[in-house]
Amino acid sequence: MSTAPVGSSASGEALAQAISGNIATICSRIAKAARAARRDPAEIRLIAVSKAQPADRIQAALAAGQRLFGENRVQEAQARWPELRASYPDLDIHLIGPLQTNKAKEAVALFDAIQTVDRPKLAQALAAEMEKTGRHLPCYVQVNTGEEEQKAGALPDEADGFIAECRALGLDIVGLMCIPPVEEEPGLHFALLREIARRNGVEHLSMGMSADYEAAIPFGATEVRVGTAIFGDRGDWKQLVGR
């Protein structure tokens, strides 16, 4: 997949064009993959992963019409989105990174969906906060499909029970999310997540990132999480647009 290189804020117009072009390219590829899988492209939403991105790149994505974003950390999202919501009331901000139980209150107040419900203690904290505030967010259970020790998520053979536990607490479990191991065929993990969703009556599947979002679509992805292919390399602020 080829997207335009994205550079620093020194070239604002070129930056906006590059990010707008990248979003258009990705949406076109999503649509092509959906049609090949005999799916409606409108069923699949692009989540722009905005973690650690500077303000000018976020503004460029907003100017291009992007409204659905994914953040990894509560503190970073708190510093960015409340002010932007005043200008963009149709923003849809998802938490896609790990959440500490002591941040449940802030997360419920800030986000529009939480995609990383991964353990009973967190589910209990979220359910209690939502009951207290009356703000019942859609939630996704994160499944550790690769059973990797360093990754969060319910293990596949425990996912059914955990989903049932979350629902019993009153959480609105609308989806599942996974991050496949980088060295393994992602389709195997997407198929596993789809099967867990099927037997639990879960509609949404958040799977597929910059390197494999097209591969996730035939397996039923309803949200794909793309960062680098939109915004470029977060670590290289001096890269020039078009270079």
**Distance (Å, rounded) from C-alpha 122 to C-alpha 126?**
6
What are the distances in angstroms from CA 140 to CA 159, 165, 188? 12, 13, 20
**Distance (Å, rounded) from C-alpha 37 to C-alpha 31?**
10
Among the residue ranges 57-66, 83-92, 175-184, 226-235, the one predicted with the least confidence is 226-235
C-alpha 229: how far from chain center:
14
Q: Is 77 helix (H, G, I), strand (E, B) or coil?
A: helix
CA angle 48, 53, 57 (to 5 degrees): 75
What are the distances in angstroms from CA 132 to CA 76, 91, 125, 129, 227? 24, 24, 11, 5, 34
Q: Which of 148, 140, 135 is nearest to 222 (CA)?
A: 140
- Residue 226 corresponds to which amino acid? V
- Residue 11 banded pLDDT, cuts 50, 70, 90: confident
Predicted pLDDT of residue 212 = 96
Please compute the mean of the pLDDT values over residues 121-130 and round it to a whole number.
Answer: 98
Is 198 exposed, middle or buried (CB count within 10 Å of its CB: 0-12, 13-18, 19+)? exposed
Q: Does 143 have pLDDT greater than 50? A: yes
- Residue 235 banded pLDDT, cuts 50, 70, 90: low
C-alpha 182: how far from chain center:
17
Q: Which of 119, 77, 75, 79 is nearest to 101 (CA)?
A: 119
Domain extents for the chain? Answer: 9-231
Q: Does 89 have pLDDT greater than 80? A: yes
In the beta sheet, which residues pair with residue 48? 69, 226
Q: Does domain 9-231 have CATH number 3.20.20.10?
A: yes
CB 91 within 8 A of CB 172: no
How many C-beta neighbours within 10 Å does residue 233 have? 11
Q: Per-residue DSSP letters for 144-162?
A: -TT--TTS-SB-HHHHHHH
CB 20 within 8 A of CB 13: no
Predicted pLDDT of residue 241 = 38
Q: Does 38 have pLDDT greater than 80? A: yes
**Distance (Å, rounded) from C-alpha 19 to C-alpha 23?**
6
Please compute the mean of the pLDDT values over residues 212-237 and round it to a whole number.
Answer: 89
